[in-house]
Amino acid sequence: MTNLAKYLDIKPEVKEALDAGRPVVALESTILSHGMPYPENLGFAARVEQVVRDNGAVPATMAIIGGKLKVGLGEEDLKVMCEAHGVGKVSRRDVPVYIANGHNGATTVATTMLMADMAGIRVFATGGIGGVHRHGEVTMDVSADLQELAHTSVAVVCAGAKQILDIGRTLEYLETMGVPVLGMGTDEFPAFYCRRSGHKLDYACSGPAEAAAILRAKWELGLTGGVLIANPIPEQYGLDFDKMEGVIQTALDAADAAGVHGKDITPFLLAKVKDLTGGESLASNIELALNNAACAAQIAVSLANNA
- Candidates 49, 260, 276; CA nearest to 163 is 276
Q: Which of 11, 15, 162, 263 is catalytic?
A: 162
Q: Over the stretch 210-245, which tens digit does the pLDDT of each residue have?
A: 999 999 999 999 999 999 999 999 999 999 988 988
CB 91 within 8 A of CB 110: yes
Residue 264 φ then ψ, to 5°: -85, -15
- Residue 296 above 50 pLDDT? yes
Above 50 in pLDDT, residue 106? yes
Q: How far apart are the first and last CA of the chain?
A: 29
Catalytic residue among 15, 28, 49, 70: 28
**4-305, CATH topology level:** Indigoidine synthase fold (3.40.1790)
- Residue 42 identity (one-letter amino acid): L
What pLDDT, in 10s, does the model give residues 56-103?
999 999 999 999 999 999 999 999 999 999 999 999 999 999 999 999
Residue 2 clears pLDDT 80, i.e. is over it: no
DSSP 8-state assignment for residue 227: E
Q: Is 245 a catalytic residue?
A: no
The one-letter code for the residue type at 145 is D
Contacts of 13 (CB under 8 A, 6+ apart): 58, 72
Most distant CA pair in the chain: distance in Å?
53
H-helix or E-strand spanning residue 45: helix 40-54
Domain ranges of the chain: 4-305
pLDDT at 307: 66
Q: In the annotation, is 263 catalytic?
A: no
Distances (CA, A) of 234 to 238, 284, 296: 6, 9, 15
Q: What does the pLDDT read at residue 61?
A: 98
Which amino acid does the sequence have at 87?
V
Give the per-residue pLDDT at 1: 46
Q: How does residue 135 score in pLDDT terms, banded at 50, 70 and 90?
A: confident
Q: H-helix or E-strand containing 206?
A: none
Q: Contact 281/127 with Cβ under 8 angstroms?
A: no
Within a 13 Å sphere around the CA of 57, how many CA atoms are in the beta-carbon half? 33
If we measure between CA atoms, which residue out of 193, 186, 293 comes closest to residue 248? 193
Q: Is 5 left (phi over 0), alpha (psi -120 to 50) or beta?
A: alpha
Question: What pLDDT score was predicted for residue 164?
Answer: 81
pLDDT value at position 197?
93
